Structure 1
Amino acid sequence: MKLNLRPFLLHAAVFGFAAILFASAPAGAAEVNSRLNEITRSKKLRVCQFPLYYSISFRNPKTGVIEGIDADLAKELAKDLGAQLEIVESSFGTFIADLQANKCDIGMFALGASLQRAQAVEFSKPYLITNVYAVTRKDGPIKSWEDVDKPGIKAAVTLGSYIEPFMKGYLKKAELISVAPPNTREGELVAGRVDVIMTDFPTAVKVTDEFDWAKSIEPPEKLAVTPYAYAVPQGDQVWLNFINLFIDTIKLDGRLKKYAEKNKLGPIVAP
């Protein structure tokens, strides 16, 4: 018989973490000072998402609904918390400031957990792991990975993404173009203003699915291998512990695999 561990694990997290903090808190302390308490009290979960991220948190232009693995998992997190989900639009360049300004409780849009970012926010355990890919036009000047870094080539990255600083150091001959929202790398490629976009697995899959003229190129060796995680404000260990347990739980009960495969991200699920 298959056991449903989800309710037990998540309720144990709430009460277990609270009990630990109460035991160590000074006499007279009224309650644990954590976003977890505030969320369970207010019944509202505020999630920062970047609505231009294919397969992760992409706003469908036909329906206006945000779709992707983190759109699905944000709903699951809210359901497990018994809270109403509120999406706060953010971006790679602004999510740290948004968390620090208390505009949202968590960033959920496949955030690259880098050492630089970890100086400003807390990262959860990884749930996806990816590396850098190139996406270009089949009829364009780039036929192989060796063509990416040649004179006259314009390569686009998203401003504020973890790929941006990596490509700044990697490219020696090509011109790097940093694209700021609401513009997108994909739009620049469609318009012919760049020759290639440097991206991750989710975007490579989505763009090649969406456009029959597009192709992805993987480097001969994996570059900038990066864990994707969720981000929470610093200094709230109770909330971080709960999010880590949520990730462990969705791995155990199959939800992570289910939504990864739904959005064609099965190959990059973290172990």
Structure 2
Amino acid sequence: MRGIIGRVLGGTVLAAALAVLLAVVARPAGAAEQRPLVVGMELAYPPFEMTDKAGNPAGVSVDLAHELGKALGRKVVIQNIAFDGLIPALKTGKIDLIISSMTATAERAKSIDFSDPYLNTGLCLLVKKDSPVKTIADLDQPGRTVAVKKGTTGHTYASKQIRKARLLVLDKEAAAVLEVVQGKADAFIYDQMSTYQNWQKNPTTTRAILEPFQKESWAVGIRKGNDDLRLKVNAFLKDFRRRGGFEKLGDKYLKEQKDAFRKLGYPFYL
């Protein structure tokens, strides 16, 4: 009896091993490309990067990442990472791409590569309602306090250009806005869309100076030397724009803001 079982089990094992071998031989040469595409973003920047009511990743960047995954034939996995940890995560291989409303700067380009720009924006100011400040130059005065979010281009700009005012570096956008709302900071340096939204949330205590004093563009962050992926991302972005993809994302998530920016005379950047 034992000999029969042994022959049966032996045959089963042999058949299983043969099946695995055939699967390996039959695997396409580019099968490694089918592994998940891991995209890093900080899910704390609505409506671009956020979570829905069920706690799932949502927003413009999330939709964009999934559309990119479809174009590349790869499942997308979103990793929620603090903004100032995104570049280290990319460099160490924890993630494959950064799609997190990240401005492509010369400083960042020293350590990572960027795709072609997919969105144009700029730095502007959220100030106290009764503030006499009209420009960034008015802000850099003794006795004034400027809030910035750590790791952003606003932080970088202020670190280099704000000489006379006190610089207040905070980890969260909401904390910086609160400083202005409570009158503890004279202004918060951030991008146009967020500044507009924060002004709308706090119309009695703040006002927005939406004219950008530094123009910027957002791009996808890619690990240095990964030219094949960079070219594929660029091809996708070009085709996605041609097909009206960005226009649809704007209508889905930013319809009110699009209309408001046009009324205010500012070009909508998506």
Residues 1:232 and 2:232 aligned together: no
Deviations along 1:219-242, one digit per CA (max 9) or x if unpaired, are: 4xx422111101011111111111
**Which residue of structure 2 lines up, in the alignment, with residue 75 of structure 1?**
66
1:197 corresponds to 2:188: yes
Q: Is the 8 A contact 1:54 1:202 kept in 2?
A: no
Residue 150 (structure 2) pairs with residue 159 (structure 1): yes
Unpaired stretches in structure 2, ≥5 consecutive residues:
1-27, 259-266
Q: Superposition RMSD on alpha carbons, in Å?
A: 2.6
- Partner residue of 2:85? 94
CA 209–72 in structure 1, closer or farther in 2 if over 3 Å, else same: farther
TM-score if structure 2 supplies the norm length?
0.75
Determine whether 1:251 maps to 2:244.
Answer: no
Q: Distance in 2 between matches of 1:67 and 1:153?
A: 37
Bigger mean CA deviation after superposition, 142-151 or 44-53: 142-151
Q: State the structure with more CA Rg.
A: 2
Task: Select the residue among 37, 52, 56 that pairs with 1:45.
Answer: 37
Aligned residue in 2 for 1:56: 48
Q: What is the deviation of 1:65?
A: 4.1
**Counterpart residue type for residue 40 of structure 2:** C
Structure 1 gaps of 5+ residues are 1-29
- Deviating more after overlay: 241-250 vs 75-84: 75-84
Q: CA deviation at 1:108?
A: 0.3
Which gives a bigger RCO, structure 1 or 2 (Cα 8 Å, sep 6+)? 1
> After superposition, what is the alpha-carbon deviation per residue over 1:127-185, rounded to whole angstroms, capped at 9, x for unaligned?
111111101232x4345225422322211111111221212232232211111258742
Greater fraction helix: 2
Match of 1:15 in 2: none
Q: Does 1:141 pair with 2:131?
A: yes
Question: What do residues 241-264 of structure 1 show as CA deviations (whole Å, max 9, x unaligned)?
Answer: 111011101110001121134333
Change over 3 Å in CA distance of 1:181–1:134 after alignment to 2: closer
Instruction: Among all aligned residue pairs of Structure 1 and Structure 2, give the percentage whose two residues are the same amino acid.
Output: 23
SS of residue paired to 1:169: helix
Task: Give the superposition deviation at 1:113.
Answer: 0.7
Distance 2:108 2:67 in 1: 26
Counterparts of 2:167 and 2:56 in 1: how far apart (Å)? 32
1:119/1:102 CA distance change after superposition, 3 Å: same
Q: Which amino acid aligns with 1:85?
A: V
TM-score when normalising by structure 1: 0.75
Contact 1:113 1:123 in 2 (8 A): yes
- Partner of residue 242, structure 1: 232
Does 2:91 correspond to 1:85?
Answer: no
> Which amino acid is 1:49 matched to?
M
Say if 1:81 and 1:226 are closer, same or farther in 2 by CA, change over 3 A.
same
Q: CA deviation at 1:268?
A: 4.2
Q: Distance in 1 between matches of 2:127 and 2:145?
A: 11
Q: Distance in 2 between matches of 1:142 and 1:72?
A: 40
Q: Of residues 218, 226, 230 in structure 1, which corresponds to 2:210?
A: 218
CA contact (8 A) 1:257 1:269 kept: no
Residue 173 of structure 1: SS of its match in structure 2?
coil
For these two proteins, the number of residue pairs brought into alignment is: 231
Moved more, 62-71 or 255-264: 62-71
Pair 195,263 (structure 1): closer, same or farther in 2 beyond 3 Å: farther
| In 2, Cα distance between equivalents of 1:210 and 1:46 | 33
